[in-house]
Amino acid sequence: MGINVTYAPKIEGYDTTCLHNHGAAAGLAPEHVLTELRPALAQRLDQASTDFEGLLKDWLKHADGFGQMVEAGPLTDRVQGVFEGLAEDGGLILRLPDGERRTIRAGDVDLVRQVD
């Protein structure tokens, strides 16, 4: 997880932003962000041990690319498929073009941009 606090790099093909662009004080330090974030993370960690299904539903509501074509896996074995969800161990579940379901447990994930 990354949080841009005062600066958002421009990355072609991606919308980037930072907390400063959304009204955060100019002097906001990353340490303050982490201090404020810590209780929410602790709550979600607790939820993971008591209500993983609820946590997963909450996460999927905000997951970028859910239901869309993504490319995922390690550099030497990347595959494209529709992002269908997460396995109980946190692996990314993809539906491949041939209908096979594959769980990706390591590597990068990128949205496949559709060209009109």
Write down the pLDDT at residue 35: 95
Neighbours of 83 (CB within 10 A): 23
Query: Shortest CA distance to 102 belongs to which of 70, 63, 75?
Result: 70
pLDDT at 46 over 80: yes
> What type of residue sits at position 36?
E
Fold of 69-111: SH3 type barrels. (2.30.30)
Give the pLDDT confidence of 26-43 residue by residue, as tens digits.
889 999 999 999 999 999
Q: In the chain, which segments carry CATH 2.30.30.100?
A: 69-111
Q: Tokens for 56, please give them.
A: 């997963």
Q: What is the mean pLDDT of the chain?
A: 90
